[in-house]
């Protein structure tokens, strides 16, 4: 196989180098994203448990503020900021309408988008690698047929090496694409779980704000809202 690669045409070698680069980049990205999403998953799960265990907002909000890397921190900050804005304008009754609910919706979308960043690159690698490999195979077969046409006698022993060389590109393309597809699906599942926890938390936070926040006549103290 190594000998076949060394004897390949310049175009075939370029295709293989490109696929090798895509493979290394995909694996590096998947390793980094795995740790990022696992940390976010644990933070959201632990944060929701801490919020459920808190007796009231005075206990719940410090628990959210303690972990500023958690997606729940950003959601809480956006909701508290909106509530305090309404408090300063004397329009807290609108809390029962859609102001804080919209703020929570935007915050969830923002946190999920942050965690989803660059995931499209992995999908691109998964979708394009087989076609890049196929291009290398087609080019290799064209080159092999051109060489065969110049031969006076053709046998399996003369044809097989060229065809085998061409098929290497397809095999490498699949080698790049299959792990990328698996990684993409795993990450999508983790993101769906995190988004579900965030939506659950947002609903509970909104309920607590509706029932408990009116007691904070001067606004709620949270992070930069102090």
Per-residue pLDDT at 54:
87
Question: What pLDDT is stored for residue 183 in this prediction?
Answer: 95
Average pLDDT of the segment spanning 124-148? 85
> Between 179 and 159, where is the model more confident?
179
Residue 181: the pLDDT is 96
Provide the domain limits for residue 186.
2-225
Radius of gyration from C-alpha coordinates of the chain = 28
Instruction: Give 71-116 pLDDT, tens digit per residue.
Output: 999 999 988 888 888 777 766 566 556 788 899 999 999 999 999 9
Q: pTM of this prediction?
A: 0.82
Length of the chain: 226
Q: Which residue has the higher pLDDT, 89 or 188?
A: 188
In the prediction, which pLDDT does 161 show?
Answer: 64
Q: What is the total count of domains within the chain?
A: 1
Ranking 6-15, 29-38, 123-132, 154-163 by mean pLDDT, the lowest is 154-163
Residue 6 reports pLDDT greater than 60: no
Q: What is the mean pLDDT of residues 44-48?
A: 93
């Amino acid at each position: 196989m190594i000998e076949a690669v060394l004897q390949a045409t310049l175009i075939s070698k370029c295709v293989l180098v490109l696929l090798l680069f895509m493979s290394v980049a995909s694996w590096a990205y998947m390793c980094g994203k795995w740790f990022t999403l696992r940390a976010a998953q644990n933070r959201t799960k632990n944060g929701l448990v801490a919020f459920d265990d808190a007796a009231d907002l005075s206990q719940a909000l410090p628990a959210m503020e303690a972990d500023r890397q958690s997606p729940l921190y950003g959601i809480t900050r956006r909701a508290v900021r909106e509530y305090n804005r309404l408090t300063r304008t004397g329009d807290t009754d609108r809390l029962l309408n859609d102001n804080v609910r919209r703020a929570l919706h935007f915050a969830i979308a923002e946190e999920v988008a942050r965690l989803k960043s660059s995931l499209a690159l992995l999908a691109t690698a998964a979708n394009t690698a087989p076609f890049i490999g196929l291009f290398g195979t087609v080019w290799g077969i064209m080159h092999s047929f051109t060489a065969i046409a110049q031969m006076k006698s053709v046998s399996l022993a003369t044809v097989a090496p060229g065809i085998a060389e061409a098929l290497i590109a397809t095999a490498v393309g699949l080698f790049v694409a299959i792990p990328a597809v698996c990684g993409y699906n795993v990450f999508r599942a983790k993101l769906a779980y995190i988004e579900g926890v965030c939506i659950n938390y947002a609903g509970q936070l909104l309920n607590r704000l509706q029932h408990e926040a009116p007691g904070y006549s001067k606004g709620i103290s949270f992070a930069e809202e102090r």
